[in-house]
Amino acid sequence: MQAMNIFLPAPGSASLRRGRTHDAGRPYLITTSTADRAPIFARSTHARTAAALLNDARTCPNARILLWVLMPDHLHLLLELGVDEALGRSVGRIRAAISRCLPGPGESLWQGSFHDHGLREAESIDSVGRYLLLNPVRAGLVLSVKDWPWRGGVLNEAMEAGVELAGAEV
């Protein structure tokens, strides 16, 4: 029988987030996946609906979506929190808005948790943005960032230009 460490929370446990603080104005890299990694957004009608919500500032009024890339079975966000806004609440608003607008049998569209990473001062928004934009290229879905229609955010155009200048699409 393997010894269990009773002092460590279970992987994916809500207690891992207990005590975590989120800073207004700090960019966070978020990845949230669909339940069972179902390719919900491979259907262009579903992707178009999600894209419209992600581009609408009313979807998450207390945070700014700097950049987003919607993949067939997950969503990448570069999100900047507003004052007095918890990260979980902002991500929850975005996921709920998309869930409400897609047809379905009433089951949850999203996995219960999401991955987040607060960018540190040494980390460049440009390099994280390039990483996000190049996801569909790395996945073999398109040859060029500009060929992937499911991307946006307030920094999207500037990030795309940076990717092209860096020659990262090749």
The secondary structure of the chain as a DSSP string is -----TTSPPTT-GGGTTT----TT-EEEEEEEBGGG--GGGSHHHHHHHHHHHT-GGGSTTEEEEEEEE-SSEEEEEEEE-TT--HHHHHHHHHHHHHHHS--SSS-SB-S--EEEEPPTTS-HHHHHHHHHTHHHHTTS-SSGGG--SEE-TTHHHHHHHHHHHTTT-
Residue 27 placed within a domain: yes
Judge if pTM exceeds 0.85: no
Q: Which residue range is the domain that position 55 belongs to? A: 23-166
pLDDT of 122 reads: 62
Residue 138 placed within a domain: yes
Domain count, the chain: 1
Residue 93 placed within a domain: yes
Q: What is the CATH number of the domain that holds 138?
A: 3.30.70.1290
Residue 4 placed within a domain: no
List per-block mean pLDDT (blocks of 10 residues) for the chain, which spans 170 residues: 49 49 81 95 97 95 94 96 88 94 78 91 82 96 95 89 61
